Amino acid sequence: MTLDRLPPIRDSLTEHGLTAKKAFGQHFLLDLNITAKIVRFAALPQRARVIEVGPGPGGLTRALIAAGAQVVAIEKDTRFLPLLDELAAAADGRLTVIQADALEADETALAGGEPAHIVSNLPYNVGTPLLIKWLTGPFRPASMTLMFQKEVAQRIVAAPGSDAYGRLSVICQAVSSARIVMDLPARAFTPPPKVASAVVRIEPLPTSPPPALIAALEKLTAAAFGQRRKMLRSSLKSLGGETLCAAAGIDPSRRAETLSVAEFLSLAERLV
């Protein structure tokens, strides 16, 4: 069987008697035009190494393989393994399926120590922890093209002063550049989730802040946004409050949501 001879995803699901399970955050993309479009937004180089989290019935996986990628797919739900084995058999040696929890996966080992891109229609329940892992952990993806709930996507790209601006915006923008490349209504998924979704393309900055600075930034943003309506002199009290702000040249009567990412980094530098 070759890739273009595989049955439609909906038929593969029926053949294997598979239905979506809420506990695994399963909302499938059955339209291969949509999955091909997501892969175009990923702008992968030729024969790119790609880690896909949660291949499920394999709609996005098929598009990645069709685009020439070498894919390692991590799926937690064992029920999908026989279906994914069929896909691997049609993938000309370019699909390896691993049964694991992506939160515990060692991406560097999975990528064989080579640079790798991450492309995923993320399970919503673990989307944010996975993103934080890829932004701040030891494995630095070459790029990430990720589907999130729209509200999370908006938080990732939010600018200072907006309601969506918070910890996720600061941490993500301190280490990468991120933009929303595609919006998807709930009806694009089977079964449809309660909310709309969006695809975010994230590219790590060429030089990333050292791990100690990122750790300080995480501590700082937790305190500052934990009490986002309070002035910094009060929300950052346990980290030095007025003295810390003075050292970074920042007015302590400002509130967290008004600080730029550069200003947060400048405060974090004083905590390292």
Site residues (vs ligand SAM, CB under 6 A): 24-29, 53-57, 59-60, 74-77, 101-103, 121, 123, 126
Q: Which is nearer to ligand SAM, 39 or 239 (CB)?
A: 39
Q: Whole-number minimum distance, CB 103 to ligand SAM, in Å? A: 5
Q: Whole-number minimum distance, CB 243 to ligand SAM, in Å? A: 42
Q: Whole-number minimum distance, CB 53 to ligand SAM, in Å? A: 5
Q: Which is nearer to ligand SAM, 23 or 262 (CB)?
A: 23
DSSP H or E segment with residue 95: strand 95-99
Give the start-end residues of each E strand in 139-271. 144-149, 176-184, 197-204
Give the start-end residues of each E strand in 100-217. 117-121, 144-149, 176-184, 197-204
- Residue 131, helix vs strand vs coil: helix
Q: Whole-number minimum distance, CB 266 to ligand SAM, in Å? A: 36
Residue type, position 35, single letter? T
Residue 244: name the closest of 225, 260, 223, 227 by CA.
223
CB atoms within 10 A of CB 233: 18
Q: Which is nearer to ligand SAM, 107 or 257 (CB)?
A: 107
- Report the distance separating Cα 80 and Cα 85, nearest Å: 9
- Report the distance separating Cα 115 and Cα 196, nearest Å: 31
Q: Whole-number minimum distance, CB 146 to ligand SAM, in Å? A: 11
Q: Which is nearer to ligand SAM, 29 or 168 (CB)?
A: 29
Q: Which is nearer to ligand SAM, 72 or 259 (CB)?
A: 72
Residue 184: name the closest of 226, 133, 148 by CA.
148
